[in-house]
Amino acid sequence: MTKKLITIGYFGVLALAVTATCGCIGVAGPGVGIASLPFPVSPFHQQMAEDYAYEKARYGKVAILPPIEDVGSHIALDPPSDDQVVRELNKARPIDGSVPGLETTIRNIKGITKELIADYVDPPRVMPLVGPVQLHHAHYKCTVYFEEITHVGWPFPHMIKTENGIETLYIDADHLHRVGGGDANPPMM
């Protein structure tokens, strides 16, 4: 009986020590009960959430620029960044299903070329929540040169190497211009 009590006492002290030193329980501040305990998140879901937030913050907003002074002086904004082109490439040719030891795919970008293929402005119109604006279209043809290596480990270990991979992407960089006067600091949509 005493051995059993001593064993239970040891496990109780061990459980108390682990609970007190893990940093999750016993912290001063508002308590939210069971929701304060951490739970594991898959790296896949974490990467999806980070990509969604990054793309929404960086590419999800449309700029409303000042009015165009001369009809012939409108010039498109900067071409798409390399980051945006690579993200579009990953949407067009996703690298899914990579399982370490069974199949792993690696893509090395060798170069990116960007070519403006269309730059024109629509006539003025009124958009809800924005007001009178002109839509400025800028269409880019982006060519990505890459090398793709796929390592297959089962059933027969081998490597597939695509040295001269080429993918052509078309990216639209549309933005709005105000028509006439208005606020000095236009809102971002």
Q: Report which residue type is found at 6.
A: I
Instruction: Flag whether 13 is in a domain.
Output: no
pTM for the whole thing? Answer: 0.69
> What integer is the mean pLDDT of 32-44?
76
Rounded to the nearest 5 degrees, what angle is found at the Cα of 18, between the Cα atoms of 2 and 42?
135
Mean pLDDT across the stretch 164-176? 93
Residue 26, in any domain of the structure: no
> Could you tell me if 137 and 160 are in contact, meaning their C-beta atoms sit under 8 angstroms apart?
no
% of the chain surpassing 90 pLDDT: 37
Question: Residue 33: inside a domain, yes or no?
Answer: no
Does 172 reside within a domain? yes
pLDDT at 147: 95
144 or 153, which is more confident: 144
Q: Which residues pair with 134 in a beta bridge?
A: 177
pLDDT at 9 (0 to 100): 84
- What lies within 8 Å, CB to CB, of 98 at 6+ separation is 104, 105
Non-local (6+) Cβ contacts of 163 within 8 A are: 147
End-to-end CA, the chain: 72
Distance from C-alpha of 131 to C-alpha of 177, rounded to nearest angstrom = 10
Choose among 129, 144, 139, 12: nearest CA to 86: 144
Q: Is the pLDDT of residue 102 over 60?
A: yes
Check pLDDT > 90 for residue 86.
Answer: yes
Decide if 44 is inside a domain.
no
Cis peptide bond upstream of 155, omega within 30: yes
Least confident of 20-34, 73-87, 137-151, 165-179: 20-34
Q: What is the mean pLDDT of the chain?
A: 83
Identify whether 184 is part of a domain: yes
Torsion angle defined by CA atoms of residues 64, 66, 74 and 60, in that order, rounded to the nearest 10 degrees: -10
* Range with the largest mean pLDDT of 25-29, 111-115, 148-152: 111-115
Residue 162 lies in a domain: yes
Total domain count, the chain:
1
For residue 14, being part of any structural domain is answered with no
Q: Which domain holds residue 94?
A: 63-189
What is the pLDDT at residue 143? Answer: 97
Average pLDDT in the 10-16 region?
A: 80
